[in-house]
């Protein structure tokens, strides 16, 4: 999933090189409300404040029609009570715009990509030597993760106060499915949870340079 995230960021800069005439891109911040976060620990982790993620994206116009294609990616985490929760998303986006004026446009589209959730817990160990590492008595991070293929429709509004810069606000609903569900680092499944699907919404805002 991290490779997918890197790919979308690279796509961003590639699109920005054509920004003035063909498209644009820029940074964004994403918020996932606490009640939308999947918790395999049975409410043992406090997600009340939700998760803030940071990333970026870019879009390019296809022909004369108001059809745009591009990519986006973001990652964020929350760290409480010794448990670190990380969420990462990357997708290929297709969207269209309706512009009632030169300053305001309404966006509608969908993303096709992937989403990864990771939980890490630091385990205490009594030794800090190589033999402790081999014997399993050194400090280490115990990790489980959840990878899913996703479909994520979105809608938003874009305000363009000047020609080369826009500000957008967007809502998105993500649905996805995982082949394995939650797994340990060695690939073994977590047997006491059978979650295979995700569904949550997020709210994002950001700047776009170009178009």
Is a pLDDT exceeding 70 seen at residue 2?
no
pLDDT digits (tens, 9 = 90+) for 103-132: 898 999 999 999 999 988 876 666 665 564
Alpha carbon distance 98, 105 (integer Å): 5
Alpha carbon distance 3, 9 (integer Å): 10
Give the pair of three-digit tokens for residue 189. Answer: 């499944």
> How many other CB atoms are there within 10 angstroms of residue 7's CB atom?
15
Is a pLDDT exceeding 60 seen at residue 171?
yes
Domain that holds residue 105: 2-210
Q: CATH number of the domain that 43 lies in?
A: 2.40.160.20
3-state secondary structure of 5: helix
pTM: 0.81
Write out the DSSP string of 176-207.
EE-SS-EEETTS-B-TT----EEEEEEEEEEE
Q: What percent of the chain has pLDDT over 70?
A: 77
Q: What is the pLDDT of residue 204?
A: 96
pLDDT digits (tens, 9 = 90+) for 17-72: 444 346 778 899 999 998 888 777 665 566 778 899 999 888 887 777 778 888 89
Q: For residue 62, what are the CA distances in angstroms to 22, 65, 66, 133?
A: 8, 7, 7, 54
Taking Cα atoms as reference points, which of 205, 202, 111 lies closest to residue 158?
A: 205
Is a pLDDT exceeding 90 seen at residue 201?
yes
Main-chain phi, psi angles of 131, to 5 degrees: -65, -35
| Rounded mean pLDDT, 73-97 | 88
Q: What is the pLDDT of residue 63?
A: 73
Rounded to the nearest integer, the mean pLDDT of the chain is: 80
Alpha carbon distance 15, 71 (integer Å): 9
Give the count of domains, the chain.
1
Write out the E strands in the chain: 23-32, 51-61, 67-80, 83-98, 104-123, 140-162, 165-177, 182-184, 197-210
Give the pair of three-digit tokens for residue 15. Answer: 């699109």
Answer left, alpha or beta for residue 187, where phi above 0 means left and psi between -120 and 50 means alpha.
left
């Amino acid at each position: 999933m991290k490779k997918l995230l890197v790919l979308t960021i690279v796509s961003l800069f590639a699109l920005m090189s054509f920004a003035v005439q063909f498209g644009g891109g820029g940074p964004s911040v994403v918020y996932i409300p606490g009640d939308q976060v999947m918790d395999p620990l049975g409410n043992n982790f406090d997600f009340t404040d939700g998760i803030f993620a940071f990333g970026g994206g870019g879009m390019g116009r296809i022909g004369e029609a108001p059809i745009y294609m591009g990519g986006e990616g973001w990652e964020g985490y929350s760290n409480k009570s010794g448990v670190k929760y990380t969420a990462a998303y990357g997708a290929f986006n297709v969207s269209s715009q309706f512009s009632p004026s030169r300053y305001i446009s309404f966006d509608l589209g969908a993303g096709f990509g992937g989403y990864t959730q990771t939980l890490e817990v630091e385990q205490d160990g009594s030794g800090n030597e190589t033999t402790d590492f081999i014997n399993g008595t050194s400090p280490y991070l115990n990790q489980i993760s959840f990878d899913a293929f996703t479909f994520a429709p979105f809608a938003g509004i874009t305000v363009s106060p000047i020609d080369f810069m826009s500000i957008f606000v967007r809502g998105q609903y993500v649905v996805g499915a995982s082949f394995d569900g939650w797994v340990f680092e060695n690939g073994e499944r977590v047997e006491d949870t059978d979650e295979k699907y995700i569904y949550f919404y997020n709210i994002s805002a950001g700047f776009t340079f170009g178009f």
